[in-house]
Structure formats: C-alpha cells, structure tokens
Amino acid sequence: MADYSVALWSFNLSRAPASVFAFARQIEEGLERAAAEGARLLVLPEYLIECCLAFKPDGLPPEEEMSFLADVGADLLPLLGPLPEKHGVSVLAGTMPVKTASGITNTAILLTSDGREIRQDKLCLTPFELGSGAWQLVPGTELKVFELDGLKMAILVCLDVEMPALSSLLARQDLDLLLVPSMTEKPSGYHRVFGCAKARAVELMCAVGVCGVVGASKGTTQNDTNFSGAALYLPCEEEFGYSGVAAEIPLTGGTSGDEPFLVSSVPVEELRALKSGKAEVWPGAWTADHVKVSAG
C-alpha cells in the first residue's frame, strides 16, 4: 500500500460563522484544501462546534449551551454528509455534543468518502465536563476500531489519549492510525495531549495524528483561550528519523488568526514491516500479566 496522506486542521474558533450553513461551508473549504494537497482524510478538533456559539440565541444561559450545540450538530451533519464523496476526502468533523437517552455525550463523528458515519464517544471526561457547572456530560462506554481506505484506525478524544488503560485495550488491535481530536485551554494541556499521543505511537507501533482548536469562540462563556498545534507522530525508529515526529506545527494560541493546517503521510508498509518483527526493540502487544506489584 502507498503512503496514506492525512490533513490535520487546528481550526480557529474565532472564525465565528453566522449560521450552520456558513459553518458547513467553512468545513468544506478545508476539505477542498485537503483534496488539493492530496489528503485522503481530514481531521478536525474536539469541540470544533463551539465556534457556533457565535450565533447562539440572545440570553442563552451557559447551562443550555450543550443542548444548543447538540441541535446545531444535528442540523450540520446532513449538510456535511455529501461532502466526503464529493471531494474524495473523509472528514472527522471534530466532536460535538450528542443527545442520548442517558444524557449528552461528547462525540467524534467521522464521515467517510464511502458513505459511512462512524461515531466515537469520549470515554474519560474531564472534571469540568462531568461537573455541576455549565457542561454536564456523560462518558461513552465503547471503544471502536474500524477500517478506512485499507487502514485499521481508532479515535481517542483528547483526555482519552492520556489514559494508558485505553492504550492497553488497543494494543492487541494492530492499528495503523490513531486519530486524536483535542481541545486544551492552556499550553500545559497541549503538552499533555501531544506528549501522550507521541507515547501511543511508540506503544502501539502505529501513526498518531493529533490536532486541537485554537483561539476563542465569539460568544464563549467557558473557554477564553485554546492552545494547540498539529502533529503526525510515528514510532521512534531509525527508519523514520529517530525522533518519532513525521511532521509538526508548534503550539499557538491562535490570537493572531493563525490556524495550523498540516498535511503529512503515514508510511503504512514500513509501519507494518516494523510491527511484524523489524522494529528495534518493540515487544509487540506486551502485557504485564506475569508481573506482581509488591510493597516494601
């Protein structure tokens, strides 16, 4: 298989679309750019949809923002649905609140160029998402592994990539590419998510693509700052230049309107060859089943 090109777009929330139709057009502009640069997949960040608070109703209380954005998402998806086939580029349309019988989830939605819709709920919510404040969400309970364009993939949303327990669940799945949409308020959050994403590339012997929102939404009541970059990480192997960084755009707060857009290629066959026994020291889907923890 030839290398697989991925576009990672750290969307600037200050774009402030005037309507759901304008927002869909902004996303289509990214698909057009990704297609022009040869990408097969466009990845957008966590809570991308928060930029739609720019057209929230006057006087909307903060505790009703998730419900409003869930309704916006329900209106958005039919507009985005035909675009992957039109442009030949699948799109992970960031994450959005989704209303369910048990509450509102933070859900990543992947629309594929072959007409599928793949959803992945965030599994480990932040204290803010779980708290008694404005955004009261419920966590997901299922981690999905799926195939797209001949690659085996999974999605871990932001904090999920920081959880080694989830990496352990994925270790036996033989992934080619892990996708990590994120939203981090401070540089510290960016370094946690991106540092752990790089670690997952080493542990899983796969590529990891990560991007997060930057800037702030007009109308936000919760997230006055967002810091991120964009990166495609690979295992730290000689074949990939030792460092584990295939491509990277550094940290920004997006305050000058900057908006990282990174296109990079996953060396699929080289990754699979390393995984089959050619890696320097990788032990495979290693478990610690034989290890006991003792005190003293």
pLDDT digits (tens, 9 = 90+) for 185-215: 999 999 999 999 999 999 999 999 999 999 9
Is 145's pLDDT higher than 80?
A: yes
CATH classification code of 4-276: 3.60.110.10
Burial of 239 (0-12, 13-18, 19+ CB in 10 A): middle
Q: CA separation (Å) from 271 to 6, 50, 216, 242, 265?
A: 15, 36, 37, 14, 12
Among 6-10, 21-25, 93-97, 130-134, whose mean pLDDT is lowest?
A: 130-134
Q: CA separation (Å) from 187 to 12, 13, 190, 228, 244?
A: 16, 17, 5, 7, 21
> What's the pLDDT tens digit per position in 63-113?
999 999 999 999 999 999 999 999 999 999 999 999 999 999 999 999 999
Q: Which residue has the tokens 């160029």?
A: 113
Please report the pLDDT score of residue 136 as a whole number: 87
Is 133's pLDDT higher than 80?
A: no
Q: Which residue has the tokens 């932040």?
A: 126
Residue-by-residue DSSP string for the chain: ---EEEEEE--BGGG--SSHHHHHHHHHHHHHHHHHTT-SEEE--TTGGGGGGGGPPTT--GGGHHHHHHHHHHHHHHHHTTHHHHHT-EEEEEEEEEEETTEEEEEEEEE-TTS-EEEEE-SS--HHHHSSSS----------EEEETTEEEEE--GGGGG-HHHHHHHTTS--SEEEEEE--SSHHHHHHHHHHHHHHHHHHTSEEEEEE-BS--TT-SS-S---EEEEEE--S-GGGTSSSEEEEEEEE--TTS---EEEEEE-HHHHHHIIIIISSS--SS---TT------
Sketch the domain layout of the chain as residue ranges. 4-276
Does the pTM of the predicted model rise above 0.85?
Answer: yes
Please report the pLDDT score of residue 4 as a whole number: 98
Please report the pLDDT score of residue 135 as a whole number: 82
> What's the pLDDT tens digit per position in 212-251?
999 999 999 999 999 999 999 999 999 999 999 999 999 9
Is 258's pLDDT higher than 90?
A: yes
> Could you tell me the pLDDT band of residue 132, with boundaries at 50, 70 and 90?
low
Report d(CA 222, CA 205) in Å as an integer: 37
Is 175's pLDDT higher than 90?
A: yes
Please report the pLDDT score of residue 134 as a whole number: 77
Q: Give the sign of the dihedral formed by CA 5, CA 80, CA 97, CA 258.
A: positive
Q: Which whole number is the average pLDDT over 38-55?
A: 97
Q: CA separation (Å) from 243 to 2, 78, 207, 246, 247?
A: 22, 41, 13, 8, 10
Please report the pLDDT score of residue 213 as a whole number: 98
Yes or no: say if 231 and 196 are a contact pair by the CB < 8 Å rule: no
Is 1's pLDDT higher than 80?
A: no
> What's the pLDDT tens digit per position in 18-46?
999 999 999 999 999 999 999 999 999 99
Please report the pLDDT score of residue 267 as a whole number: 98
